């Protein structure tokens, strides 16, 4: 007689399938015990994303993409980075979901169901570039605390929804309105319901732009849970932290919003250049608005080896916050000489643009290809790291890939 019960053979065979190899002493697993390999939630399955994505943190979930995964003109869901400040809402009830619009600068306070929003306002679709303010943080020295993003916290996908300005018009905005703030359904990491994980927003001028949406679809389908289902604010060209996920309240403010992660040093940079490692007073920090000009070589993958010909077609994207990219160049001699790439126009305002170039190499050996974008104000990406700042935001240094030519 056994003193303990073992798992049944059918449970064992499903375990073997899930783990992907034979569980050698599987028959000895006590009933009710979950093998370690099964205990961790698998983020790739959980969020239905590519296994090539990199998990930076699981509490909260922060997952980044890679340059070569972002080669599509319109980023598919499976390659979109995921950035959370708190706990993703666990029970989302769409039928009773409400968006409240109120605040000291609202003419009235109104409540909308998802159906109200979808039925009573015109729908628009835009392809919008969203980049985390901390994208590229891992390169700063001394290092800044926070997720150590490489280059993969950016995407440009299609969002469908209604214009924020149409909704604000329906509510009525007082002339003293300064800021549009968002509140959302995610939970603070402490699980204290009194605390907000994040509540940011944007000035009226950005809120009233045609492309600022309250979205209910991403790439033609319901927004995935991780990206803000069922409702999300989307403000292209600004730090993605402005684009509130799981949106349930919009508050019209007569002052610059002071919600969680709006004040102190969050999503702010020094007003003046500072020395690396310098402590900067809160009063010397300004809120990040339009993101700086930047680009990414998405083909080939860094490390490619050429063994047929000394020539290569590179591809990538470039974006410039609220502006357009007007010039794109590459260099194979560490930034001494620059050659123009062909560059497309954006499909709509605030969408990234695509570049291509045929790169010829004079002889065999190791090369780096550097890419540099210039915005419509004539500002170019810095070749190496830009100004250090305490929280490691806005690293828009030239992206570079390594190539070996062995013909
Ligand atoms: N409600 C809510 N909205 C949020 C966040 C969050 O934690 N909670 N994170 C913000 C930040 S910092 C970024 S970079 C983007 C990331 O969007 P994604 O996860 O859909 O890529 O969402 C923003 N909106
Ligand atoms: Mo972010």
Mean pLDDT in residue range 364-388? 96
In this prediction, residues 162-181 reach a mean pLDDT of: 98
- For the record, the structure tokens of 103 come out as 């605040």
CA distance 92 to 403: 47
Q: For tokens 């000009």, what's the residue?
A: 293
The mean pLDDT of 280-293, rounded to a whole number, is 98
The b/e string for 157-171 (b: 16+ C-beta within 10 A; e otherwise) is bbbbbbbbbbbbebb
Atom 22 (ligand 1) nearest CA = 241
Burial class of residue 204 (count of CB atoms within 10 Å of its CB; 0-12, 13-18, 19+): middle
Mutation pick for ligand 1 pocket among 65, 84, 189, 216 (CB with most ligand atoms within 8 Å): 84
Q: Return residue ranges of the chain for CATH 2.60.40.650.
A: 294-405
Q: Where in the chain is the domain with CATH 3.90.420.10?
A: 54-287
Distance between CA atoms of residues 157 and 356, nearest Å: 20
What region, left, alpha or beta, does residue 272 occupy, with left being phi > 0 and alpha being psi -120 to 50 degrees? Answer: beta
Q: Token digits for 130?
A: 């969203």
Residue written as tokens 């600068």? 105
Q: Give the number of the ligand closest to the Cα of residue 188.
A: 1
pTM tops 0.75: yes
User: Phi and psi for 115 in degrees, rounded to 5?
Assistant: -60, -45
Per-residue model confidence as pLDDT tens digits over 11-53: 888 888 877 888 899 888 888 888 877 777 789 999 999 999 9
What integer pLDDT is reported at residue 1 of this predicted model? Answer: 47
Cβ neighbours, 10 Å, residue 208: 17
- Distance (angstroms) between ligand 2 centre and the Cα of 133 equals 5
Residues having CB closer than 6 A to ligand 1 are 80-86, 132, 184, 186, 197-198, 226-227, 240-241, 243-246
Q: Can you tell me the distance from the alpha carbon of 2 to that of 4, in angstroms, rounded to the nearest whole number?
A: 5
Contacts with 1 (C-beta within 8 Å, 6 or more apart), sequence order: none
Q: pLDDT digits over 70-126, tens only?
A: 999 999 999 999 999 999 999 999 999 999 999 999 999 999 999 999 999 999 999
- Domain at 294-405: CATH code: 2.60.40.650
Query: Can you tell me the distance from the alpha carbon of 279 to that of 248, in angstroms, rounded to the nearest whole number?
Result: 36
Write down the CATH superfamily of domain 54-287: Oxidoreductase, molybdopterin-binding domain (3.90.420.10)
């Amino acid at each position: 007689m056994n003193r303990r019960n073992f798992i049944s053979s059918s449970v064992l065979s499903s375990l073997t399938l899930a783990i992907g190899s034979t569980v050698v002493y599987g028959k000895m697993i006590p009933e009710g015990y979950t093998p370690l390999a099964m205990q961790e939630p698998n983020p790739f399955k959980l969020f239905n994303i590519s296994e090539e994505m990199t998990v930076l943190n699981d509490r909260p979930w922060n997952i980044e993409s890679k340059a070569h995964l972002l080669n599509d003109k319109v980023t598919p869901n499976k390659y979109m980075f995921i950035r959370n400040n708190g706990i993703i809402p666990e029970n989302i009830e769409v039928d009773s979901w409400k968006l409240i619009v109120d605040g000291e600068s609202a003419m009235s306070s109104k409540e909308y169901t998802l159906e109200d929003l979808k039925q009573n306002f015109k729908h628009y679709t835009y392809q919008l570039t969203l980049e985390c303010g901390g994208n590229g943080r891992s390169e700063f020295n001394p290092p800044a605390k926070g997720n150590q993003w490489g280059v993969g916290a950016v995407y440009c996908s299609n969002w469908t929804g209604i214009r924020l300005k149409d909704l604000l018009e329906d509510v009525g905005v007082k002339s003293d309105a300064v800021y549009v703030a968002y509140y959302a359904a995610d939970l603070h990491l402490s699980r204290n319901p009194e605390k907000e994980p994040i509540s940011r927003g944007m000035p009226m001028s950005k809120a009233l732009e045609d492309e600022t949406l309250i979205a209910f679809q991403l790439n033609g389908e319901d927004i995935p849970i991780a990206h803000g289902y069922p409702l999300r604010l989307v403000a292209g060209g600004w730090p993605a932290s402005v684009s509130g996920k799981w949106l349930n309240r919009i508050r019209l403010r007569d002052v610059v919003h002071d919600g969680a992660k709006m004040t102190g040093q969050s999503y702010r940079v020094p007003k003046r250049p500072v020395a690396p490692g310098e402590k900067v007073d809160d009063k010397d920090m300004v809120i990040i608005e339009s993101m700086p000009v930047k680009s990414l070589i998405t083909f080939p993958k860094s490390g490619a080896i050429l063994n047929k010909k000394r020539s290569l077609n590179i591809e990538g994207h470039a974006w410039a916050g609220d502006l357009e990219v007007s010039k794109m160049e590459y260099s194979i001699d560490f930034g001494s000489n620059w050659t123009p790439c062909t560059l497309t126009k954006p499909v709509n305002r605030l969408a990234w643009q695509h570049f291509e170039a045929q790169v010829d190499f004079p002889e065999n050996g190791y090369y780096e290809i550097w890419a540099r974008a210039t915005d419509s104000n004539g500002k170019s990406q810095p070749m190496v790291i830009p100004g250090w700042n305490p929280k490691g935001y806005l690293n828009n240094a030239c992206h570079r890939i390594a190539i070996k030519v062995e013909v």
